[in-house]
Amino acid sequence: MPQSFRLLVIPIAVVVACSVAVAAVIVVSRAPVLVNVRSATTASGIDSAILASGDATVSKKPDLALLNAGIESRASTAAAAQSDLATKAAKLIARVKSLGVVDKDLSTSGYWIGPEYGSTGQTITGYRAGEQLQVKWHNVDTVGRTLDAIVQEGGATNISIGFGLSNPKAAQAEARALAIADAKAKAQAMASAAGVHVGQVIRVSDVSIIRTPYPYTYGAALAAPDKAVTQVPVGDLDVQVSVEVDYSIA
């Protein structure tokens, strides 16, 4: 082989070898790809699962009324407003306790004292003081008479009321069991349509949205002058639960 041809072949061979080496380095040093597996994995390595959601609603009659009773005072000085408020609060608290409300079911939810300004917003015209009491009333069927007593005899000037359950977890557990059963029924229907079978539960999530009942608000003149009892209809509360359940494919 001529010398010139030999010199040409050697560099080309070296370049090819180097290229192969570089390629090998690139292949070896490539970062691994991680797959986040949320469901069961088949023998072929492909994820397989049935994803179903379930919903349920349980209706319960509330056994707890939350009454918020407010009182206010106005005076030329902060001290006078506070003193007058203390007198009104003592009267209201005494009337509430006379209805059979124990100390643990009576609490202060708000208290404030502040100046009041004139139309220009720069001159103080007086002071205002207020207090808000929260009362837990466990006999919802008599809540109307209780409201009348708090306003007419206790002196409350604003009232709001909401209803709830003393043990909401029991109703939530009942609704949750029904929601999971609903999810399973949907999963079985999908599996039947797809020609497969429902396997084991992989994951269960409670995706419920907690809803707080909006309180009803009443004015100070709660009952008519003829002493008619205030009517407060108490309907059922809906306890709603939503779940998501992942099943493997058997």
Each residue's pLDDT tens digit, 40-65: 444 444 468 999 999 999 999 999 99
Each residue's pLDDT tens digit, 98-145: 999 999 999 999 999 999 999 888 899 999 999 999 999 999 999 999
- What one-letter code names the amino acid at 150? I
Each residue's pLDDT tens digit, 13-36: 333 343 433 333 333 333 322 223
Q: Is the pLDDT of residue 162 over 80?
A: yes
Which pLDDT score, from 0 to 100, does residue 42 have? Answer: 44
Q: Angle at Cα 214 formed by Cα 151 and Cα 177, nearest 5°?
A: 130
Closest listed residue to residue 140, CA positions, set 231, 239, 69: 231
- Residue 136, classed as helix, strand or coil, is strand
Alpha helix segments (H runs only) across 51-204: 78-98, 143-148, 168-194
Q: Where are the domains of the chain?
A: 49-59+169-210+242-249, 60-168+214-237
Give residues with Cβ within 8 angstroms of 79, minimum separation 6.
none
The CATH fold assigned to 60-168+214-237 is: Alpha-Beta Plaits (3.30.70)
Query: Is the entire prediction scored with pTM above 0.75?
Result: no
Which pLDDT score, from 0 to 100, does residue 69 have? Answer: 96
Each residue's pLDDT tens digit, 189-243: 999 999 999 999 999 999 988 765 545 555 544 444 456 788 888 889 999 999 9
| Sheet containing 216-218, strands listed edge to edge, beginning at the edge strand earlier in sequence | 106-117, 124-137, 64-75, 158-164, 216-218
What CA–CA distance (Å, rounded) separates 79 from 217? 30
Two tokens, residue 166: 């003393």
Closest listed residue to residue 132, CA positions, set 167, 88, 100: 88
- What one-letter code names the amino acid at 83? S
Band (pLDDT 50/70/90 cuts) for residue 6 is very low
Which pLDDT score, from 0 to 100, does residue 209 have? Answer: 83
Band (pLDDT 50/70/90 cuts) for residue 161 is very high
What CA–CA distance (Å, rounded) separates 54 from 148? 44
* DSSP H or E stretch at residue 18: helix 3-29
Report the pLDDT averaged over residues 167-182.
95
Report the pLDDT averaged over residues 168-184.
96
Q: Is the pLDDT of residue 175 over 70?
A: yes
